[in-house]
Structures are given as structure tokens and as C-alpha cells.
Chains A and B, each alone.
Chain A
Amino acid sequence: MKKKRKAHNSISAVLELPDEIVFDMPFISLRGRKEAVIENYKSVLEYSSEKIRIDTSAGRLAVSGAELTIKCIDIQSVVISGRISCIEFL
């Protein structure tokens, strides 16, 4: 498993491929503090208007704030909008 990961590492380094494609790493983008787009997520673990926890390949990600809503969600990405105050990996 470690060997496979090493091979992936070297390939991505040589070909300069982004990690979110090779390792299925989460790709998080923020638009100010109003909107966060999380791509390559696994599942939604917890959902409330103050906190949304999302499982990713890099660990569990918690988005805290107020009036949080999931603007849209599909198998690839989730868009969280509201007043975001904190994003942290647990």
C-alpha cells in the first residue's frame, strides 16, 4: 500500500499532476466567508445551521458558523453557504 502511494507520489511529482486528481484529496475553495466549495468529499457526517462536518480522504472537516446551509450537493462536491467563521480538520 505504502509502495503504491510512493509510486503515485513520484508520478504526480514528475508529471506535475494536482494531488486532488491523483490522491482524491479534498479541494476546498472559499468565496470570502460566505461560501465554501468542497470537492472530493466522502459524506456528510453532521448537519446543523451552526456546524457541518464532512468526511474527506484527508480527515474530517468541520465548517462552523451561523445560518449555514448546503446550497447544493452532488456526488462530487458540496457547496456550503452562510456566515462561515471556522474551517478545521479534526
Chain B
Amino acid sequence: MFLALWNYICGYVIIYVTGFSVERMLNMAINKGVFIWDIQYDKNRVRIKTAIGNIGTIKDCCIKTGCKMSLEGSFGLPTVLNKCRRQKVFVGGIALFAVVMYIMSMFIWTVDIEGNERISSEDILSACEKNGVAPGRLKAGTDFYKVGESLMIEFNDISWIAVHLDGTAVTVRLVETIPKKDYVEKEEYKDYVADRSGTIVSIAASSGIPVVEPGDEVSDGDILISSTVPLKDGETQIGEKKVCADGEVYAERKYELEGISDINYKKRVFTGDTKTDYSVIINENEINIITPSDIDGYALKTDDRIQFRIGDYVIPFSINKKVYEKYNIEKCVRTEEEAQSLADRQLDEELARLLADTGGELSEMHRDILINENNVTIKGYVYIIEKIGIQRAVTGGNEEVTE
């Protein structure tokens, strides 16, 4: 197979030899160092293949042995290239393709991260970029071993890392360290105190002694779970021990929310007249040469950015298209029902936001509706059960004290 490939690359000719002593001609040519292959007997003539440069030798041998030769043609890569000389665009295309492929292969095209769980891929990618490993960067001159080392230094949670380059793809394989357990300094004595006021609903101490009960009103700073644990011998207290108080305390807290909706309001009515503004963004720098004149009374309707990419590589060139639409302001009037419904919706949104912020559960809610000439106001009185309490260090606390 390799011989056939080599013969194709070098090029060869097919020659037909006829005569009384073809064997003599063959022996003579071979003794002159001519390599011949694929000799076939075909209707009183012999078909042989040999290198293009051996035609002269074969011709001499034929003359000396009284044989006649006829050339069928030349084959192989040189012949194909010779034919392609006329098709300049085709050859140019192949050459351009080869050059483009070569240039493209000089760059890094993708960076893959494997093995990360706690460290985000974005952080590793940005750290890689700082070290010169990112899509679009040149492969040459990048020491991937050093990149791995600097990543190790940057991220404390990495115990092993390897940065490999396969073709144009960089793979970062890493192993993370075992996560540290939450360490509580038990030697530091702490009370569990309220960080906001409320009515206690439930209290569960995992360490320390609870000093409040369900139903008690507490305010900010009140001790909920004490760090001082009495040591008893039967009913008699023989001393006390300081601990780091901890637990879960839930309290009900009251909030006031409000939703207001105006009866008279102004509305934008779009006329359908639009103005378009195109700009070019090169490397995050916006170039806007032609801007639409006088966009007062126009509102931005769409803002689209056309980003160009090659694979995962983002080309630092994009086109931004902004469409502005003309509007007129009209005065409108809502009905009481519409205004009430809108105010109600505002109140619900406020409540959802409050629940998300506090992380509590809704216990009770009352609504008061106030209707004026100009607006409708809905006041909501909300009771939310939420977790309260933080640990606060005890000043002057020390070890076990016994009588």
C-alpha cells in the first residue's frame, strides 16, 4: 500500500511493449536499475508501469532489443497537478484552504473544564484568560504547565490540576480538595439573642438554656438562649458552665404593606412611526456615526445586538440595532374596580417580595380598602413567622465555674 502511494506521489507512466524479446528488454532495463511494477501480459503485448523519469532508459532498451513501445499516458500526483495548472482558481482555493487551516490551527478554539464542582467554570475560565489561555489566543508561547501551576496558586480548593492541549482544544482537568466542615469555635462563649422584635412562636435549643417561651414578646438584643448552663446535683445547683448557645427560634412579626392606584393616569399610545439607529461595536467600543435626529417623544422599543462567532470564539465585532417608536400621551380614567384590582396586585407583589426577603411564612393578613377621589389605596397588615436570632459573644465569659 505504501509503495503504491509512493508511486502515485512520484508519478508513473504506463507503457505497452511489443516484440519478439520483451523478456530481454525487461532484463536489460532492470539491470540498468529501472524499477518496474504491475507487468501484465495483454494480447501479445506487455503492459508495464514505471517512474516518469525512466522512459528514456526503457526507450533505449527497446531499441537495443528490437521491441516497440507505446506510451498509454502518465498518471499520479504530478500529472494531476499539471492538469490543475490551467484551473488557477481551483488550485488557489486549495492553497488558500491549506493556509487558512494552518493559520486557524495556530489558535486555541475551545477551553473545557472537567472535574470542578464547587469552583465555578466561569472563575476558572477567567483565571485561564489572565494566563493567556482563552479561545482566540495563540497556542505558541503558552506554557500550559505554568498555567496549571498559577491556577493551583490562585484557587486554594484545587488539589491537582492538568492543562492539556489537543489540537486546538485546551482541557483543564482538576480535582478539588475535600470541603472544610463548618468549624464553630466552642471555646468562644456566645448567647443566642434576638436580632429583631416579635412574638415567639417556637424555640428549640441545640446548645444552651432557652430563656423565653412561646407567646413572649421580645425586642432586638434580648437573650433567647443563654450560654450559661447550670450544673445541678439533684435539685441543688452546684455550679454553672459556659457554652456556645445555638438553636432555632421562630417569631411572628407584623408588617404593613400598601398598594396605591390612581384613578386618573397618563398612558403612552404608540403611533407606529419608528426610527432605527445602527451602530458598530468593536471590542466593546460603540461607534455610532449616523444617529436619528430628534428622538424626543420616541421610546426605545427594541435593542438587538448581532454578535458574530466562529465556533465558540466570539469575534470582537458586532452590530447594534435600536428601534425607537413615536408615542402620544393620553389622559385616561380607571374605574374603581380596575383601580382596586391594580392596587391589590401591587400589594401581592409587595408581599411576595417581603416573603422572599425574610424567608418566612405568611401567618395572617388583613386588608383595608380606602377609596378617595384621586386614588384607591389598599393597606395590608401582614403577620409573618420568621427565624430570628444571632449568636453574640459573651464578654468576660470563661471556663466552668463550680462552687
A residues in contact (CB < 8 Å) with B: 43-49, 68-75
Contacts and interface: CB of A to CB of B under 8 A. Distances in A.
A47 B35 contact: no
Interface string B14-54: 00000000110011001101011111110000100000000
A84 B376 CA distance: 109
Interface residues of B, number: 16
A38 to B, nearest CB: 13
B38 A44 contact: no
Contacts, number: 45
Given A43-B27, A47-B26, A69 B35 contact: no
A75 B35 CA distance: 8
B41 A72 contact: no
B41 A47 contact: yes
Given A47-B22, A47-B26, A72 B31 contact: no
A71 B37 contact: yes
Contacts of B37: 70-73
Nearest to B38: A71
B35 A46 contact: no
A73 B25 CA distance: 13
Contacts of A75: 30-31, 33
A16 B158 CA distance: 64
A45 B25 CA distance: 11
B41 A44 contact: no
Interface in B184-229: none
A72 B46 contact: no
- With most chain B CB atoms within 10 A of its CB, the pick from A49, A71, A72 is A72
6 contacts: A68-B41, A70-B38, A72-B37, A73-B26, A73-B35, A73-B39
